[in-house]
Structure 1
Amino acid sequence: MFKLTLMPQSLEVLLPANSPLTELEFELHGQESIPFGCRSGACGACIIEVVSGAEALGARAPSERDFLASLGFDGGQFRLACQCRLMGDAVVTAIATP
């Protein structure tokens, strides 16, 4: 089990190795966390900023990098949560998008 910490609320969730972050919806039973939209990396609803543990979220595909850049989130610390799988402990912050 690995720990994902959601900031700023310091909400900690334990997930099995290789779990998609979309599992948060089920684990948190409706508590406020990361908003998921399309779940396929096309809408940008689930943008997160990785505070620590970037390597624990898997590699960022070129298509994810390019899509984030098109939305103005071109730094390496930004990810689409729907494209991440937890492979270690990580701390992330959900980014509110319009």
Structure 2
Amino acid sequence: MNIIVTGGAGFIGSNFIFHMLAKHPAYRIICLDKLTYAGNLSTLKPVMDKPNFSFVQTDICDREAVDKLFEEEHPDIVVNFAAESHVDRSIENPGIFLQTN
């Protein structure tokens, strides 16, 4: 099974990835993350060298990049954790929340 996890470098997404790789070692996990304030690549350090894990830095709003990833990986499932989450940031720039979420 191929699973794309968006927002996988964030707290919830990374813990989902850790759980899935531990519980389903035959699955392939592809993490797609823009690495904004909410994502941290070092969070994924424990799984970066696993053969069934890969990381792609891109924006889920970049349709061309996401289409290309789908063509290459043929995912069975997409789990979306990519989201703007800090309320104070929504006051400063609400439009970005509409794009990402």
Instruction: Give the TM-score normalised by structure 2.
Output: 0.28
Bigger proportion of residues as strand: 1
**RCO higher in structure (CA 8 A, sep ≥6):** 1
Instruction: Give the TM-score normalised by structure 1.
Output: 0.28
Bigger proportion of residues as helix: 2
The structure number with the bigger radius of gyration is 2
